[in-house]
Amino acid sequence: MATGATTGYAAGEQTNTSPVDYAQEITYDTPPGGTYQRLRMTGESLAVQDSTSAPDEITSVPEVAETILTGRSTSGSINGVLSYGTYDDFFAGILGADWSDLEFTTTSTLIITLNDNDSSYGGYATMWANDGKEAVLTFPKSMGPCLVTATDKTTGFTFTAPCMGSDQNGYALKFEKNALSPLMSAVGKNTLSPGSTITIQSLTNGAMGKTFTIRKKVAGQWQVYSGLMVNQVQIQLQKGQPPTVQIDFIGSDMTITSVDVSSAVNAATTSPLMDVVSGFLGCSIFGSKPAGCIQSATITLARDGSAQDTGMGHVGACGVQFGSFKASMDIEYFFKDYTEFLAWQSGQKGPVSVGIQGSDGYGYQFVIYNGRIFNPKNPISGKNATIVTTISVTGNPLPGGGTFGIARIMPPS
């Protein structure tokens, strides 16, 4: 009986054996040394775009003059299925910020005092943590927007709400007016047992610039794409489909090299692929869930006005303009009532969120902090069909800044 593998069967290099990895750049357009991260993906389309010109030179032979190089850039996308931890660096890239995760564990009985219209804080909703007499838990002072989760592992009580930040002393967390009442059985005092947690998890859009180097190893050499900024991220949750991610880049240049500048390459993440059946955690619009089942939710994060700055003496860019961050959600659900239409009609603003997790309990909550509904529609498209509502939610900055946030969901320990 013959054993062993046949050789020479491949017509060319194979996708399965052509790894793609990345690292955040320390200096713009300079591939860093150190550790790279292997990417987990369904495909990529990074490519060079050469700008050329053929001058209208007058010659005795009627032919186009020599084509010359006038500039170069790169662009393309990474596509994948949503899984925990896989694209966190690129989420941070599009939002222009670093992840921040804080967890407070109660050592004694703690009273969470909620006020949905706190006059001492300009009418904002507030959350205080005390023992019935005084504040015993302080939060970071003057903290920015985040997502707050309080969980009592003994009673099963939990709530999650997008937060505008903390006061200057760190005693209170501030929320939009009336934002807490839909999330609580009763606004007022709620007791948390010892060992309960208050988690403050956030990736909120900021002013930090991040660029990346992405490498494709093909035929024993690397295609190195440098100076890449994340120009857009689109996350699509749709019934009957796996939740997908598309990350669009624009970059400076690409070189081919046989030199491996990395000291190591981390293996691709192994977290479970998420799904929209058991993993979908629902959608909240201004603190309430739509009456009908969600059909799809598409989150689009982009850098409006981003561009490459170019000059003479070299190919590629001299620098990058990150533009202005913007966020939107398009949500589809079965029409049952006019709740969202009335919110549109009144010009209401508030938090809009969508959550999803994997079978291991790890996931994400995506939140527009101060969204407004535009273009609601519920067409009657044909017979024997359920009417579907589509709304577009545009993110608006909170007072002092902050349009969109992502919280990492973790299972109870």
**This prediction's pTM:** 0.87
373 touches 256 (CB < 8 A): no
Band of residue 112 on the pLDDT scale cut at 50, 70, 90: low
Distance CA 333, CA 350 (A): 19
Asked whether residue 177 falls in the same domain as residue 31, the answer is: no
Instruction: Classify residue 312 by its DSSP letter.
Output: S
User: pLDDT confidence of 90, banded at 50, 70, 90?
Assistant: very high
Pick from 200, 199, 161, 197: which is nearest to 180 by CA? 161
How does DSSP assign 32-82, residue by residue?
A: --EEEEE---SEE--EEEEEEE------SS--PPPPEEEEEEEEEEEEEE-
* Residue 134 pLDDT exceeds 60: no
Q: What's the pLDDT tens digit per position in 262-290?
A: 999 999 999 999 999 999 989 989 878 89
Q: Of 155, 183, 202, which residue constitutes the final position of a domain?
A: 202
Confidence tier at 346 by pLDDT (50, 70, 90): very high
Q: Are residues 221 and 246 in the same domain?
A: yes
In a domain, 58, yes or no: no
Per-residue tokens: 412: 């109870």
Are 283 and 354 a contacting pair, CB within 8 Å?
yes
288 and 377 both lie in a single domain: yes
Q: What span, in angstroms and rounded, lies between the C-alpha atoms of 316 and 49?
A: 10
β-strand pairing of 34-38 with 262-266: parallel
Neighbours of 127 (CB within 10 A): 23
**Is residue 265 domain-resident?**
no
Residue 164 backbone zone (phi > 0: left; psi -120 to 50: alpha; other: beta):
alpha
pLDDT in the model for residue 105: 80
At 214-223, the pLDDT tens digits run 999 999 999 9
Could you tell me which of 100, 408, 29, 44 has the C-alpha nearest to residue 255?
A: 29
Q: Are residues 187 and 131 in the same domain?
A: yes
Query: Are the C-beta atoms of residues 212 and 24 closer than 8 Å to each other?
Result: yes
Residues 89, 133: one domain?
A: no
181-205, pLDDT tens digit by residue?
665 555 556 677 888 888 887 788 9
**Residue 216: inside a domain:** yes
Pairing state between β 324-334 and 404-409 = unpaired
Residue 147 lies in a domain: yes
Q: Is 384 found in the same domain as 250?
A: yes
Q: What is the pLDDT of residues 139-175, one digit of tens each?
A: 777 777 777 877 777 877 777 777 777 777 777 787 7
Residue 183: helix, strand or coil by DSSP?
Answer: helix
Same domain, 303 and 338: yes
Split into its structural domains, the chain has a count of: 2
Judge if 158 and 242 occupy the same domain.
no
Residue 131 pLDDT > 60, yes or no?
A: no
Residue range 226-238: average pLDDT? 97
Residues 150 and 213 in one domain: no
Q: Based on the fold, state whether residues 184 and 318 are members of the same structural domain.
A: no
- Whether 10 is covered by a domain: the verdict is no
Bridge partners of residue 357, in order along the sequence: 363
Determine the average pLDDT of the residues in 317-328.
Answer: 95
**Mean pLDDT calculated for residue range 321-334:** 97
Q: Taking a C-beta distance cutoff of 8 angstroms, is the pair 39, 212 a contact? A: no
Q: Encode pLDDT of 351-370 as tens digits.
A: 898 999 999 988 998 989 88
Indicate if 196 and 238 belong to the same structural domain: no
What is the domain range of residue 370? 17-50+68-99+206-257+272-409
pLDDT bucket at 178, cuts 50 / 70 / 90: low
* 62 occurs within a structural domain: no
Residue 238 lies in a domain: yes
Domain boundary among 157, 183, 202: 202
Examine the domain organization and report whether 218 and 164 are in the same domain.
no
Q: Is residue 333 part of a domain?
A: yes
- What pLDDT, in 10s, does the model give residues 359-408? 998 899 898 988 999 999 999 989 999 999 999 999 999 877 889 988 88
